[in-house]
Chains A and B, each alone.
Chain A
Amino acid sequence: MRAAVVVFPGTNRERDIAIALERATGRRPRMVWHGETALDGIDLVVLPGGFSHGDYLRCGAMAARAPIMPAIRDFAARGGHVLGVCNGFQILVEAGLLPGALLRNAGLRFLSRDCHMRVERADTAFTRHYQRGQTFRAPMAHGDGNYFADPATLDRLEGEGLVALRYATSAGEITDAANPNGSARSIAGVLSPNLRVLGLMPHPEDLVDPLMGGTDGLPLFAGMAEALAA
């Protein structure tokens, strides 16, 4: 799998993603500066976490208008796989590649803690190494991760099976307490209609090494590596 990791000014989890990708594929991803305009010979584009442009406007709003974005849009339109994590998810939403918006966390505070996510469908390139209904742990670290969309959009997402991940207890129950940022219908990750664009708030890339407390995030990267093997 040939992966590209897009770096915007203020991106700060690109190294974490690169380590997870290398661990899964044995290959270092290509780092792509936001000012570039082409993406050639790539199987996966990752938009990592951070505070692009300081998030001084709406989170992700400025990055969504970066010079690299048309190339990412074309890549997605051609059926390319795109993963957006945290600020990357916010950028995908701002770019219109995924529906909805990420609002301030319900408690109005930054949240850095582990959460559990339940896998709602396992037949995607991203989730194929998990079982449907399985939960896995990942650190969350964001101030604006409260997923929001109007009820009709939420109904459509659910009807079309585009909710990839939901916040849950470790046993897989959907509860308010297990949904710390207050996301609508506990949605942690959403897919594009062709199932090839995934955005999620938590950071599976920071839990891929037993030394850091677990490898719950590794199947996400291993699954992509297998599905997108070049």
Chain B
Amino acid sequence: MSNKPVGPALAREFGLSADEYERVLAIQGRTPTLTELGIFSVMWSEHCSYKSSRVWLKQLPTTAPWVILGPGENAGVVAIGDGLAAIFKMESHNHPSFIEPYQGAATGVGGILRDVFTMGARPVANLNALRFGSPDDPRTRRIVDGVVRGIGGYGNCVGVPTVGGEVNFHPAYNGNPLVNAMTVGIAPADRIFLSAAAGIGNPVVYVGSKTGRDGIHGATMASAEFGADAQEKRPTVQVGDPFTEKLLIEACLELMATDAIVAIQDMGAAGLTSSSVEMAGKGDVGIELDLDQVPQRETGMSAYEMMLSESQERMLMVLRPDRQDVARAIFKKWELDFAVIGRLTDTGRITIRHRGAEEASIPLDPLAEQAPLYYRPTVETPPQSPLGDVPDPVGIAPALLTLIGCPDLCSRAWVWDQYDSTIGGQTVQRPGGADAAVVRVDRVGEGQALDGHARALALTTDCTPRYCAADPEAGGAQAVAEAWRNLTAVGARPLAITDNMNFGNPEKPEIMGQFAASIRGMAAACRALDFPVVSGNVSLYNETEGRPILPTPAIGGLGVLDDAAASVGLALRPSDSLVLVGETAGWLGQSLWLREVAGREDGPPPPVDLEAERRNGDFVRGQILAGAVRACHDVSDGGLLVAVAEMALGGGVGAELAAAPDGLPAHAWWFGEDQARYVLAVADPGAMLAAATAAGVPARKLGRAGGDGLKLAGGATILIEELRAAHERFFPAWMES
């Protein structure tokens, strides 16, 4: 930090515009103190205030009969039956993960876990959506290594299984990787904990780790572009302690079983500042903090440093005064700090005292209500020219081997093998085994019989950024539709999503145009599929030296299976027949085939027909739940033949495949990325086709499982062995060489 006096120059350094600083002066009626300026700057940062995105986010549908709590709390809450609720959210830790990949990713996992257990849920699953720069960029390997180790290091230690996610590569993420972490927890639907403070005079209690100087101004750093000096920002990255997080989870859940807690909020971005301001603001009360009481792990910390610190594994609670001793005993057992650091007041202000002096006094209403809100100008992304005919340069078999081995489609086992996916003993569908992870809802600890039927959650993360770049509206709709489709493909009823909006600099009209169009597409898909948004996070300024990332609205989807045993995976088995559900036009625009085989990245992305999505998906789910489907895989990146190859690799069995229909070039049939399609493995293809006809759903017999390779009609056989070698080569060869 510089030694400038508080004034316009320092405000600018803290990320406040001249106009925003004027507002601070008007609210305070004087020059703010350093601590006050720090509080205003983080509360009004893009990261905390959503000042550029709020007007657009309002367009997203957020309600459904099963939604208990939509956006606005720490995480979204949906009813899943049996009096239980799923609590979930996805959040980005992009900037820190570039600066310090291990800690950036680890603390991303820690932060999203806290958002979920702060509401009373035991976390039962983690997922993560990762986008990295080109494998050819010399920095990428180090970032992948650190991010994967960080996610594993944190998640494995806290004992929450990491069950799914995505990994993509594109040069647009060089120097700006995306790390989007999602946590899902389970709680009794009538025991949800909220953050609104209440009860004048009630104690404000700090629990968890001690406060240090780490992460000061992290939220501000996350709200700016990177320049060439990004590495100098390393001190703004926090350091994670998953062991303390594990203790904090257990201690909080133990305390939540009592009636001691009035309100609770984790200290995430902007730490003590945002938690205290938000809790008091939501409860319409004042709050007074005595920083001398804050547990500190460094000496001589100023009020400014303590209020801005983003030290991890800390929570703020308002307790019933007569239950303080119960709470103190629980945190003592778990060897965590517990300190009464303030109380609620009727002043409507946040007041900070330190070493006998008043360091800050800010009226809470204006701090929230006069927070900046920007209607930033937008420019629509120009439509892509139609692709026209693209001849097949290599033939089907070589193209399949190229695609199945390319960085975006090859086996992710190298990544998954570093994440504990089985802890908890409830993981029904593991990474790579199905289109969505399936985790049984375990209530054994709460008295459920061991062998009783149990529900399960289905979980996925999805986004196809190259579609979003070419057509943000279609891409936004596609991301939501693909999440819905992946949940459907395991037999789950999709319930709701969390969204993680990763975009470039919102002050550029073309970026804001991408954002607005993506929201439009997402909203349309959410409506058509009854799949509302219940939580989310926005990450802007994902640019390095002026180059933006691809627009990446990552979607985390959650669905439910009433019977965990009904889910299906994607592995093909001998004697299964393959049936394709959905219409195939052979859409090659923005396909992976076009990029990896033809060397082009153009054309419009595949159109999303939401009615067809709904009709085809409802049909497939019905067939799975009726027991007529032995395996199911949606057709997405790489198209039909890649989907079939993944099923064959999953089961270690080949298939004999029918020829492409007349009038469609073979490469367009096999590698086009038309949406709303599924490949089903069934015992009785005749019955399946008849059922599809009756439901008005296009379906077609594709072939039959058997043999040791994929046998193309009138053409080559691609051996499973050959496919596997191509599929499994990239990650170990690239990372371990």
Contacts and interface: CB of A to CB of B under 8 A. Distances in A.
Interface in A49-86: 49-51, 53-56
A156 interface: no
B422 A112 contact: yes
A111 B417 contact: yes
Given A16-B425, A112-B420, A53 B450 contact: no
A202 B265 CA distance: 37
B445 A212 contact: no
A40 to B, nearest CB: 22
B639 interface: no
Interface string A102-114: 0000010111110
A212 B425 contact: yes
Nearest to A210: B565
- Chain A at the B interface: SS class: mixed
B159 A12 contact: yes
Nearest to B249: A12
B418 interface: yes
Given A10-B157, A112-B417, A16 B243 contact: no
Contact of A139 (B246, B418, B422): B422
B156 interface: yes
Interface residues of B, number: 39
A110 B440 CA distance: 25
A194 B421 CA distance: 35
Interface in A157-189: none
B156 A211 contact: no
A213 B419 CA distance: 18
Contact of A53 (B243, B421, B444): B243
Contacts of B564: 211
B441 to A, nearest CB: 12
A118 interface: no
A6 to B, nearest CB: 15
A227 interface: no
A19 B450 contact: yes
Contact of A211 (B149, B428, B736): B428
B445 A15 contact: yes
A20 B422 CA distance: 14
A193 interface: no
Nearest to A112: B420
Given A15-B445, A54-B241, A209 B418 contact: no
Contacts of A55: 157, 243
Contacts of A226: none
A211 B152 CA distance: 25
A110 B156 contact: yes
B425 to A, nearest CB: 4
B427 interface: yes
Interface string A181-216: 000000000000000000000010110110111000
A23 B423 CA distance: 17
A13 B159 contact: yes
A19 B425 contact: yes
Q: Interface size class for chain A?
A: 35 or more
A206 B423 contact: yes
Contacts of B335: 9
B425 A54 contact: no
A182 B440 CA distance: 33
B565 A211 contact: yes
B129 interface: no
Interface string B233-259: 000000001111011000000000000
B426 interface: yes
Contacts of A213: 428, 430
A211 to B, nearest CB: 6
B422 A54 contact: no
B619 interface: no
Contact of B242 (A9, A51, A112): A51
B56 interface: no
A55 B159 CA distance: 13
Contact of A9 (B241, B243, B440): B243
Interface in B399-439: 413, 416-428, 430
A13 B423 contact: yes
B247 A9 contact: yes
A54 B242 contact: yes
A15 B421 contact: no
A140 to B, nearest CB: 9
- Pick the most buried of A20, A53, A205, A212: most chain B CB atoms within 10 A of its CB: A212
A110 B153 CA distance: 8
A56 B450 contact: no
A141 interface: yes
B450 A141 contact: no
B386 to A, nearest CB: 46
A10 B440 CA distance: 23
A15 B417 contact: no
A9 to B, nearest CB: 6
A67 to B, nearest CB: 13
A212 B439 CA distance: 9
A110 B422 CA distance: 14
B25 to A, nearest CB: 47
B269 interface: no
Given A15-B445, A211-B564, A22 B425 contact: no
Contact of A110 (B152, B424, B425, B444): B152
A10 B246 contact: yes
A196 B418 CA distance: 32
Nearest to B336: A9
Nearest to A52: B243
Contacts of B736: 107
A13 B420 CA distance: 11
A89 to B, nearest CB: 16
Nearest to B414: A109
B119 interface: no
Given A112-B417, A141-B423, A54 B243 contact: yes
B450 A23 contact: yes
Given A22-B450, A54-B157, A211 B440 contact: yes
A16 B124 CA distance: 13
Nearest to B425: A16
A216 to B, nearest CB: 13
A42 to B, nearest CB: 21
B157 A51 contact: yes
Contacts of A56: 243
Given A9-B243, A22-B450, A109 B418 contact: yes
Interface in B173-205: none
A32 B445 CA distance: 15
Nearest to B569: A213
B157 A16 contact: no
Given A113-B417, A141-B423, A12 B241 contact: no
A59 to B, nearest CB: 11
Contacts of B430: 213
A209 B425 contact: yes
B318 interface: no
A208 to B, nearest CB: 7
A143 to B, nearest CB: 8
A141 B156 contact: yes
A197 to B, nearest CB: 24
B545 to A, nearest CB: 33
A33 B332 CA distance: 14
B243 A141 contact: no
Interface in B662-694: none
Contacts of A33: 333
Contacts of B149: 109-110
A22 B425 CA distance: 13
Contacts of A208: 425
8 contacts: A9-B247, A12-B246, A15-B424, A19-B425, A51-B156, A54-B243, A143-B156, A206-B425
Given A12-B246, A16-B423, 15 more contacts: A10-B246, A12-B423, A13-B159, A22-B450, A51-B156, A55-B243, A56-B243, A110-B153, A110-B156, A110-B417, A111-B418, A112-B152, A112-B418, A112-B419, A211-B565
Closest 8 CB pairs of A and B: A12-B159, A54-B243, A16-B425, A141-B420, A139-B422, A51-B157, A206-B422, A112-B420
